[in-house]
Amino acid sequence: MAAVFTLENAHLRMRVDPQGGVVQRLYSLTHQRPVLQDPTGMSALFPMLPLANRVAENRFSLHGRTIALPASPRDSDFFLHGDGWLKAWQVESCSETACVMTLSSHDDCGFDYRAQLSYALIDSALHARLTLTHCAPAPMLYGLGFHPWFYFDAHSTAQFCASGYWPEGERHLPQAWQETLPAHVDFSAGQFGRDEWLNICYSGWSGRAFVRNNEMEVTLMSQAQWLMLFRMCGQSFLCLEPQSHPVNAHRMPGQPGLVLLQQGEETSLSMTIAVNSAADSC
């Protein structure tokens, strides 16, 4: 198993673990504060593939046949976030400020892919890119995502725009989509929000979100149209997760955001997390 390694430039330092392709921590050297950090210190950012989040009953239909998703060692009910965050990635290249890792995965349900994951520190930003290529003769549905854990204390606020959201229902699956955002889940003006469990997916995300405190403004950018928000009561983190599809898209009409890949075809998702001083923000 490849060892954990560090990427660093004049502004940022991060620890990368090839097990799961995770970033254990992203730290601002300029501000002497964590940017990404989960409560356990193990995974501050991980890739989600070949799907993001959960699928109801852990199964879906494709071309008239039922696809039963694999069991997950991390969740008794769902193929949670896929398997990319649980497997060992191969380090293909690594410099002081950038790395490229690859992963091959096959399951009898139809997932058969090769993925490439890159992380690069450029000035005061982390650039991440995930690319997946389907390898099997039979086509398969795919989705991608990133799961960053932003450091978020009592002095922090989050801000982003969306057109609506799915409230969380039983077993963490979405209820019916709602266009009206209640005040405690409306971050269009920027707020800390309630210190409580929150696990919801937003549609019509603008592709940009901000996490601010007295010293830093952290900007999340992605081409993804869906954004997942997760937080827990009493914890100093806020997950803002760009996803290529909404939660349970496999069971929605039209399977929005998912991509049906033929053999040799690929799909990709990129994300940038830029760190600036609060005084520099507009």
Using only C-alpha atoms, the chain has a radius of gyration, in whole angstroms, of 18
The model's pLDDT over 188-222, given as tens digits with 9 standing for 90+, comes to: 999 999 999 999 999 999 999 999 998 999 999 99
Report the percentage of the chain scoring pLDDT > 70.
98
Whether pLDDT at 4 is above 80: yes
Element (H, E) at 27: strand 22-28
Q: What is the CATH number of the domain that holds 55?
A: 2.70.98.10
Separation of CA 8 from chain center:
22
- The predicted structure's pLDDT at residue 42: 80
- Cα–Cα distances (Å) from 254 to 70, 77, 165, 223, 250, in that order, read 23, 24, 18, 20, 8
Whether pLDDT at 281 is above 90: no
Q: What does the alpha-carbon distance between residue 35 and residue 32 come to, in Å, rounded to a whole number?
A: 10
User: Residue 170 phi/psi, 5° resolution?
Assistant: -65, 145
Q: What is the mean pLDDT of residues 22-50?
A: 95
Supply the range of the domain harboring residue 149: 5-280
Q: What does the alpha-carbon distance between residue 64 and residue 42 come to, in Å, rounded to a whole number?
A: 41
Contact present, 155 and 213 (Cβ < 8 Å): yes
Q: Extract the tokens encoding 13.
A: 């330092």
* pTM for the model: 0.96
Residue 167: closest CA among 145, 200, 191 = 200
Q: What is the mean pLDDT of residues 257-280?
A: 94
Q: Collapse the DSSP code of 280 into the 3-class scheme (helix H, G, I; strand E, B; otherwise coil) and give the result.
A: helix
Q: What does the alpha-carbon distance between residue 41 and residue 267 come to, in Å, rounded to a whole number?
A: 30
Quickly state the pLDDT bin for 282 (edges 50, 70, 90). very low
- The predicted structure's pLDDT at residue 280: 52
Q: Is the four-CA dihedral 193, 190, 26, 33 of positive or negative sign?
A: negative
CB burial of residue 136 (10 Å; 0-12, 13-18, 19+): middle
Q: Extract the tokens encoding 118.
A: 């890159």
Number of domains in the chain: 1
Whether pLDDT at 255 is above 50: yes
Q: What is the mean pLDDT of residues 125-132?
A: 98
